[in-house]
């Protein structure tokens, strides 16, 4: 088979799996698990084959026009370059791992068939985004992911948190998608084509008339999808979904789509210095803000959610300094270790019966209950904190190195200010990242107090996946940074000495400061008892998690934070802790700015409808009703009366006709 055929099969297989799963889910429950896992694994295998055949060489392009549109043509187009080939492999890897993991995680869930089908559809949509060479086809995948995330985040729809979070995720990403759509049309109008290669050709010849407008409109959609400030607020709340879904959304699909989209169309953004500066500021604010917020979160998954935003900030930062190789490099390594972090967190939540770090810090022996999760999560956290030689170190250094090259003026695309912004924010975030990674590790695995509850061994499917993902988290960066430039633009991705020392130093300091704070507070934890565990520890992991999410707010007063004086994050942040826990009150600001006016407008419309419009309608109805009541009185039931009236009418008509005929 040709590479094109294989590449077409990659998104098609999970899509068929999803369709079959949705159709057969009820009729043939035995087929649901194979239908979920096999397409994902097959798609991974095919993506690997495509990547090997593409091999970083010239891009594979194929296009077929379905139907003429009359103006700008829309084509089913493939455009597979080194970026697309490698990102597809990571998407396939994470999706396959998530599907395997889900068979254990939701093994008793009655809604597993639809869940698995939606995960397959989600994967298929992401493959479509990755391989598509046409922006409209890309948009289709982009929007399908939006609706899938809505359904999957709301999987535990019995809990109000999940319902609210799914609607929020949908609305906030759609808020970005509207300008995104307009931006796509503006871009196509300028370039005369939706095809990526043609657009890039137009940009290369300076044929773009409104680069800043187009770039900023597109940026809004990317900010929504990739959870960048100021449209990031849906991401922490999306933690109300099942953990495998979080892993899928955060590691390889959805949020990666935004970064990947900019990477594909980077020349369009580079045509506008203003857009690059906005991108840099956006990345910097997201990085630092999310780092601070992550230090204050109590829910283990919310810590990881904020860390995802921070890592995405690194990627957009790399794009802001015009190095898409570094951005996609970090996307790849982040995909592996973030998926691992989430899946391990799912195991920990199941074992501990709670998602609260405060409660975990009061359990001893949690690490002995889940040794696989303990070791793999340690690896992933070291990768997240960018400690050499873990893969996160190399990818993060490539971002910082790119920023440093811009500050000294070695590249012509990006403004120097963007370089400085990204570099300073990046080093600061390296410090914060290490701090919250250390806090998570210490609170979850170094707790003291009562024995952790014993819920038996974790399912094999869940543990195996952790080790599979631990391999790339550990080794991918170190092996890949020399060969990756051949796949990408050819920019050097090797760590430079200055930024390595700066970044690693910041990370070490962050980790040590957190450790010191934690040591100071170890005595306090014993004095303040805190914690609540799930009521059904014997249930499957999904049920335990749903209970943990539903009980967090009643047990600790808030979905995000817990009143735990022994939290090292509280000591480090000081007075900032209260604001950081609430995500710097951005939700409250949005509530004042958008939600309340909309609610007020809705109640105004309701008043107008009920009191004004309905009055006219009611009035229009009342007159015929009165007339009808009057006429009804003639209805006596006596046939002879009717005939009399008929006769009288006939006589009147006859007389009138005679008078008219005689001309009187």
Partner 1 sequence: MHLAYPAVLSALLFCTGLYGVLARRNAILILMSVELMLNAVNLNLVAFDVWLSKTAEETLHSGQALTLFTIAIAAAEIGIGLAIVLAVHRNRGTADIDRLRDTAEGHESQEGSAADGSDTDAPATGAAAEKAEATA
Question: From CA 328, how far away is CA 56, in angstroms rounded?
Answer: 14
Residue 527 or residue 632: which is nearer to partner 1 going by CB? Answer: 632
Q: Which two tokens stand for residue 460?
A: 């094999």
Q: Nearest distance from residue 631's CB to partner 1, in Å?
A: 9
Beta bridge pairs of residue 613: none
Q: Nearest distance from residue 655's CB to partner 1, in Å?
A: 16
Q: Nearest distance from residue 546's CB to partner 1, in Å?
A: 53
Q: Nearest distance from residue 627's CB to partner 1, in Å?
A: 14
Question: From CA 581, how far away is CA 589, in angstroms rounded?
Answer: 15
Residue 602 or residue 648: which is nearer to partner 1 going by CB? Answer: 648
Query: Torsion over CA of 590, 591, 595 and 596, rounded to 10 degrees?
Result: -130
* Pairing assessment for the beta strands 75-80 and 363-364 based on DSSP bridges: unpaired
Residue 67 or residue 636: which is nearer to partner 1 going by CB? Answer: 636
Q: Nearest distance from residue 628's CB to partner 1, in Å?
A: 11
CA 36 to chain centre: 21
Beta bridge pairs of residue 64: 76
Q: Nearest distance from residue 595's CB to partner 1, in Å?
A: 49
Total residue count of the chain as it appears in this document: 664
Q: Nearest distance from residue 641's CB to partner 1, in Å?
A: 6
Are 290 and 307 within 8 A, CB to CB? yes
| DSSP character at residue 194 | S
Question: From CA 390, how far away is CA 388, in angstroms rounded?
Answer: 5
Q: Nearest distance from residue 634's CB to partner 1, in Å?
A: 8
Q: Nearest distance from residue 639's CB to partner 1, in Å?
A: 6
Query: Which burial class, exposed, middle or buried, applies to 195 when counting CB atoms under 10 A from its CB (0-12, 13-18, 19+)?
Result: buried
Residue 68 or residue 637: which is nearer to partner 1 going by CB? Answer: 637
Query: Which residue, among 390, 371, 369, has the nearest Cα to 381 in the 3D structure?
Result: 390
Residue 600 or residue 647: which is nearer to partner 1 going by CB? Answer: 647
Residue 129's alpha-carbon distances to 146, 219, 261, 541, in angstroms, are 12, 16, 8, 31
Question: From CA 122, how far away is CA 143, in angstroms rounded?
Answer: 10
> CB under 8 Å to 544, separation ≥6 — which residues?
349, 350, 353, 455, 534, 536, 537
Residue 70 or residue 637: which is nearer to partner 1 going by CB? Answer: 637
**Contacts to partner 1 by CB under 8 A:** 632-633, 635-641, 643-644, 647
Residue 605 or residue 647: which is nearer to partner 1 going by CB? Answer: 647
Residue 67 or residue 638: which is nearer to partner 1 going by CB? Answer: 638
């Amino acid at each position: 088979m040709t590479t094109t055929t294989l590449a077409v099969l990659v998104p098609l297989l999970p899509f068929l799996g999803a369709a079959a799963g949705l159709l057969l889910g009820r009729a043939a429950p035995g087929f649901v698990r194979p239908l979920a896992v096999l397409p994902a694994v097959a798609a991974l295998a095919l993506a690997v084959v495509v990547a090997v055949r593409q091999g970083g060489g010239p891009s594979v392009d194929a296009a077929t026009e379905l139907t003429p549109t009359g103006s700008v043509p829309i084509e089913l187009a493939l455009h597979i370059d080194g970026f697309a080939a490698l990102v597809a492999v990571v998407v396939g890897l994470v999706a396959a791992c998530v599907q395997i993991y889900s068979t254990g995680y939701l093994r008793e869930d009655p809604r597993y068939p639809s869940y698995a089908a939606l995960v397959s559809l989600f994967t298929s949509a992401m493959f479509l985004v990755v391989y598509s060479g046409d922006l409209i086809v890309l948009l289709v995948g982009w929007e399908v992911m939006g609706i899938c995330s809505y359904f999957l985040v709301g999987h535990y729809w019995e809990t109000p948190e999940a319902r609210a979070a799914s609607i929020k995720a949908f609305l906030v990403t759609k808020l970005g998608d509207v300008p995104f759509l307009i931006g796509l049309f503006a871009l196509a109008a300028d370039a005369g084509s939706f095809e990526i290669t043609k657009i890039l050709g137009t940009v290369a010849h300076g044929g773009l008339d409104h680069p800043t407008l187009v770039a900023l409109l597109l940026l809004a959609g990317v900010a929504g999808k990739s959870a960048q400030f100021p449209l990031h607020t849906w991401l922490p709340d999306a933690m109300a979904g099942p953990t495998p879904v979080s892993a899928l959304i955060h590691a390889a699909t959805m949020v990666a789509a935004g970064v990947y989209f900019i990477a594909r169309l980077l020349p369009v953004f580079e045509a506008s210095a203003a857009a690059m500066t906005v991108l840099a500021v956006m990345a910097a604010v997201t990085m630092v803000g999310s780092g601070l917020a992550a230090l204050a979160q109590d829910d283990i998954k919310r810590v990881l959610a904020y860390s995802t935003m921070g890592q995405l900030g690194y990627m957009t930062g790399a794009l802001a300094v015009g190095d898409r190789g570094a951005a996609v490099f970090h996307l790849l390594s982040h995909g592996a270790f973030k998926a691992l972090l989430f899946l391990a967190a799912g195991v920990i939540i199941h074992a501990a019966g709670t998602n609260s770090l405060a409660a975990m810090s009061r359990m001893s022996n949690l690490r002995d209950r889940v040794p696989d999760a303990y070791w793999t999560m340690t690896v992933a956290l070291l990768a997240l904190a960018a400690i050499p030689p873990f893969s996160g170190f190399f990818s993060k250094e490539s971002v910082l190195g790119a920023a440093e090259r811009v500050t000294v003026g070695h590249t012509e695309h990006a403004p120097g200010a963007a370089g400085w912004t990204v570099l300073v924010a990046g080093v600061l975030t390296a410090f914060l990242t290490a701090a919250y990674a250390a806090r998570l590790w210490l609170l979850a695995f170094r707790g003291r107090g009562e024995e952790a509850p014993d819920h038996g061994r974790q399912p094999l499917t869940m543990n195996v996946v952790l080790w599979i993902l631990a391999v790339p988290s550990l080794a991918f960066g170190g092996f890949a940074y020399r060969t990756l430039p051949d796949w990408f633009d050819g920019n050097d991705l090797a760590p430079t000495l200055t930024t390595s020392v700066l970044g690693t130093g910041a990370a070490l300091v962050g980790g040590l400061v957190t450790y010191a704070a934690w040591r100071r507070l170890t005595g306090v934890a014993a004095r303040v008892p805190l914690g609540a565990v799930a009521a059904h520890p014997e249930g499957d992991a999904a049920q335990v998690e749903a209970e943990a999410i539903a009980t967090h707010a009643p047990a600790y007063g808030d979905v995000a934070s817990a009143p735990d004086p022994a939290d090292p994050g509280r000591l480090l942040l000081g007075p900032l802790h209260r604001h950081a826990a609430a995500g710097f009150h951005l939700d409250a600001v949005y509530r004042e700015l958008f939600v309340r006016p909309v609610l007020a407008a809705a109640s105004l419309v309701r008043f107008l409808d009920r009191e004004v419009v309905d009055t006219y309608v009611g009035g229009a109805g009342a007159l015929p009703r009165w007339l009808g009541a009057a006429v009804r009185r003639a209805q006596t039931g006596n046939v002879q009366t009717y005939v009399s009236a008929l006769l009288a009418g006939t006589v009147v008509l006859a007389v009138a006709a005679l008078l008219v005929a005689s001309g009187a």
